[in-house]
Amino acid sequence: MAENLQQMASIYANAYFTIIALDGNNANHGLTGLVSNTERRRYVQTILQLPGPAKALVRAPYERLNKPWHRRGWTFQERVVSPRCLAFQEGTMFWHCRQDKWWEEVAAEPEGIPKEECLIKAVLDNQHSLMLDPWPNDNCYWTLVGSYTKRTLTFETDAPRAFSAIIEVMSRAFPGGFHWGIPAFYFDMGLLWRNGSPLQRREEFPSWSCIGWKGEIRPCHFGFHHNPKPSPGPGISGWDKPQTNLKWHVCKKLDGERTQVNNSWHAYYALGKNPSAALPHGWFCEEVEILESIDGSSGDVADGEGNDKGNGEDEDEDDGEVDDDIKISTRRRFHHQLFGDSEAFAYPVPVTETPLGPFADTWSPFLCFSTFRQHFIFSGSSFDPVPVYYTDRCLWINLQSLSGTWAGILESNITMEADVLLLKGLTCETILVSTEAVKREFIPLITYTEMDFCDAIKPMQVYEFYNVLWIEWQDGIARRKAIGRVWKEAWDMQTSEKVDVILG
352 in any annotated domain: no
Q: What's the pLDDT score for residue 219?
A: 65
CA nearest neighbour of 397 among 373, 422, 374, 372: 422
Same domain, 253 and 286: no
- Nearest one of 501, 257, 243 to 367, comparing CA atoms: 501
pLDDT per residue over 296-342, tens digit each?
A: 444 333 333 333 333 334 444 444 444 555 667 778 889 999 988 78
In a domain, 355, yes or no: no
Query: Measured between alpha carbons, how far is 454 from 407 in angstroms, rounded to an integer?
Result: 10
Which amino acid, residue 78?
A: E
Asked whether residue 211 falls in the same domain as residue 90, the answer is: no
The pLDDT assigned to 128 comes to 73
Position with higher pLDDT, 230 vs 250:
250
Check if the beta carbon of residue 298 is closer than 8 Å to that of residue 237. Answer: yes
In 203-362, where do the E strands start and end?
213-214, 217-218, 239-243, 249-252, 258-260, 283-293, 317-321, 326-336
Give yes or no: residues 119 and 45 share one domain.
yes
302 is in which domain, residue-wise? 274-342
Mean pLDDT score of the chain: 78
> What pLDDT was estimated at residue 87?
80
Decide if 86 is inside a domain: yes
Task: Let me know whether 162 and 122 are in one domain.
Answer: no
Q: Are residues 155 and 242 in the same domain?
A: yes
392 lies in the same domain as 459: yes
Instruction: Give this prediction's pTM.
Output: 0.80
Domain membership of residue 353 (yes or no) is no
Is the domain of 285 the same as that of 244?
no
Which of 167-176, 209-218, 350-359 bottoms out in mean pLDDT, i.e. has the lowest? 350-359
Rg (CA), the chain: 25
Q: Please compute the mean of the pLDDT values over residues 404-419 and round it to a whole number.
A: 94
Residue 167 lies in a domain: yes
Residues 371 and 496 grouped into a single domain = yes
* Domain boundary, last residue among 293, 308, 342: 342
Whole-angstrom distance, CA of residue 181 vs CA of residue 167:
7
Statement to judge: residues 103 and 68 lie in one domain:
yes
* Helices 2-14/74-81 angle, 10° precision: 50
488 three-class SS: helix
Of 224, 241, 263, which closes a domain? 263
Q: Domain boundary residue among 128, 158, 173?
A: 128
Q: What is the pLDDT of residue 438?
A: 84
Which amino acid type is present at position 292? E
Do 253 and 192 share a structural domain? yes
Angstrom distances, CA of residue 154 to CA of 88, 144, 151, 165, 390: 24, 20, 10, 19, 27
User: Who wins on pLDDT, 281 or 238?
Assistant: 281
Nearest to 159 by CA among 74, 273, 221: 74
Nearest Cα to Cα of residue 26 among 114, 154, 132: 154
**What mean pLDDT is predicted for residues 239-248?**
76
Q: What is the count of structural domains for the chain?
A: 4
Asked whether residue 133 is domain-assigned, the answer is: no
356 domain-assigned: no
Confidence (pLDDT) at 68:
83
Query: Highest mean pLDDT range out of 57-66, 73-82, 216-225?
Result: 73-82
What is the model's pLDDT at position 346?
86
Same domain, 111 and 165: no
Q: Using CA atoms, how far apart are residues 307 and 312, in angstroms rounded to an integer? A: 11
Range of weakest confidence among 133-142, 388-397, 447-456: 388-397
Give how far the C-alpha of residue 472 lies from the chain's centroid of Cα atoms, to the nearest Å.
Answer: 26
Q: Tell me, yes or no, whether 463 lies in a domain.
A: yes
Same domain, 257 and 284: no
First-to-last alpha carbon distance for the chain, in angstroms, is: 23
Q: In the predicted model, is pLDDT for residue 388 greater than 70?
A: no
Concatenated DSSP letters for 431-475? EEEEEEEEEGGGPPTTTSTHHHH-GGGTT-SEEEEEEEEEEEEET
Is the pLDDT at 123 greater than 50? The verdict is: yes
Other Cβ atoms less than 10 A from the Cβ of 63: the count is 17
